[in-house]
Amino acid sequence: MAPVVCADRPCDAGTRSPPALRPLRYTQAPVKAILFDLDGTLLDSVPLILDSFAHAFAAVGEPLPPPPVLARAIGIPLRAFFLEIGKTEPEIAALIAAYREHNLAQHDGRVRAFPGVVDLVAELRARGFRTALVTSKNRLGAERGLRIIGLGDAMDVLVSCDDVARPKPDPEPVDRALAWLGVDATEAVFVGDSLHDLHCGRAAGVRTAAALWGPFTRADLAPGAPDFWLETPADLLALVPAAVCGDSPPA
């Protein structure tokens, strides 16, 4: 599985900066929907992603970019990342092919759910929350990952790289999820592990929750100004009620 491949069409215009933020709106409207990122949030797949990058660059005879550069690839489409680091279209095609070869061969035996996330999603749905997946993977890859961890039928909607013209950190993926769910931005919380997720959610006007069980630290994610910090998946169950009625985000 190629986690974030949209090789047959542009998924992004190239180098991006965080989009302008819409003002957050804290209202009495109840939270109706929880949106999730996939890789690094529900699916423990980042080590495989990094290994797949290492394989791809070695296969084309190029040095692997340093860790701070590779970190920018987590949460955006592959093609967008390769464009950002200045690769040509033929180079991108070769890198994507090598990445996919390795990732597909390793995927099912290497990925797993983060502890607690399957129970979290089940409990949210039992409490009546709508759920959505908002990912930079293609649809087939996202569906495969969900099935492997037992969440194949747990999302009311799935927004993938295939469904948008402008992926994260642009607000379009979250805007699309809200439209498909039929909920307002004031009624949703987006849980993600990367700055791309946090910028996307803030730009769409939803409240954001930083998943600290993923690959990034609190210091890494602080520039995304999340409304909530989640040390464990279960922390969300305590924070959602606070998000329902509060006039301002908790400290």
d(CA 129, CA 226): 21
User: Is there a contact between 177 and 200 (Cβ–Cβ < 8 Å)?
Assistant: no
Half-sphere exposure (Cβ direction) of 14: Cα atoms closer than 13 Å? 6
If we measure between CA atoms, which residue out of 212, 16, 203, 41 comes closest to residue 137? 41
Continuous segment of H or E residues that includes residue 159: strand 157-159
CA 227 to chain CA centroid, Å, is: 17
Q: Please confirm, yes or no, whether 44 is among the known catalytic residues.
A: no
Continuous segment of H or E residues that includes residue 197: helix 195-204
Phi/psi of residue 35, each to 5°? -105, 140
Q: Are strands 112-113 and 43-44 parallel, antiparallel or unpaired?
A: antiparallel
If we measure between CA atoms, which residue out of 233, 29, 241, 227 comes closest to residue 122? 233
Residue among 12, 37, 162, 193 flagged as catalytic: 37
CA 39 to chain CA centroid, Å, is: 6
Residue 34, beta-bridge partner list: 131, 189
Would you call 139 helix, strand, or coil by DSSP? Answer: helix
Which residues participate in catalysis according to the annotation? 37
